[in-house]
Amino acid sequence: MPHSLYVPESALVIVAHPDDIEFSCAGTLARWVKAGARVGYVLCTSGEVGIAEPGMTRQRAAEIREAESREAAAVVGVADIAFLREPDGLLVATLELRKRLVREIRRFRPEVVVTGDPTIVWAGEDYINHPDHRAAATAALDATFPAAGQPNLFEELEEEGLKAHKPRKVYVTAWERGEVFVNISETIEVKIDALRAHKSQMRDWDPGDMIRTWAGEAAKGKEMAYAENFRVVTLVDDATWEKTKGRVESLPHG
Ligand SMILES: [Zn+2]
């Protein structure tokens, strides 16, 4: 089955900030949820430096943005959100963060991990990709492969009942640099509604036109009205996945 039509049984999305999912891949996630997939979100930071209002504290902003994230997730049909509460604006792909993400992957046991592209620095002539986006993507990829699937790495997580897990595929949101285009024509309004839930970010601006423009450009020449674009990496082949569903046999210790 082409990657563009594939629906995983489960997907875990790992990003830096509360609105990153809604800007990048919520149309695809809504499509997967509609088809029965179990989807969870991991937000590395709670976006607490992202509300520039007089008197706003980081703590209050985090509360507002976590509530907006829950609302946005609910629009897509997602209830499982992990807030790691790493520092917004200062996210670094440390080994500690890698371990925290391995814990989330071993807990959720996703078929697919969705995250960003850590190599994207520039977009056009007017945007530098946020360093938190790059850090979250680096940590997510490093956690996904090979760490999550190595029983003798972070083996102390077994004490929490979390065994090694090898995700089948990684979907990297690719800003039109990827080869896979998922048709989101039926879910683009869900994506826009989810983004609207981030009221502290949208303020008086409605994101509908911009999202339709981006998704329309991504879909150009592909017999679909709206698309989201991914680079897809297959880590476990189909036959092995059917047998294991990500389970990894423990090696004898010592
Ligand atoms: Zn962001």
pLDDT tens digits for range 197-252: 999 999 999 999 999 999 999 999 999 999 999 999 999 999 999 999 999 975 55
pLDDT score, position 90: 98
Residue 251: per-residue pLDDT: 55
Report the mean per-residue pLDDT for the chain.
95
Res. 176: pLDDT tops 90: no
pLDDT tens digits, one per residue of 21-53: 999 999 999 999 999 999 999 999 999 999 999
pLDDT of residue 175: 85
* Ligand 1 centroid to residue 26 C-alpha, Å: 14
**Which residues line ion ligand 1, judged by CB < 5 Å?**
17, 20
How many angstroms separate the alpha carbon of residue 23 from the centre of ligand 1? 9
pTM of structure: 0.96
At 237, the amino acid letter reads D
**Residue 177 alpha carbon to ligand 1 centre in Å:** 19
Is 3 a residue whose pLDDT tops 90?
Answer: no
Neighbours of 100 (CB within 10 A): 18
**Is the pLDDT at 67 greater than 90, yes or no?**
yes
Model confidence at 254: pLDDT above 50: no
pLDDT at position 1 over 80:
no
Give percent of the chain above pLDDT 90.
Answer: 93
Cα 242 to middle of ligand 1, angstroms: 35
Burial of 204 (0-12, 13-18, 19+ CB in 10 A): exposed
Query: Which residues are 247's β-sheet partners?
Result: 165
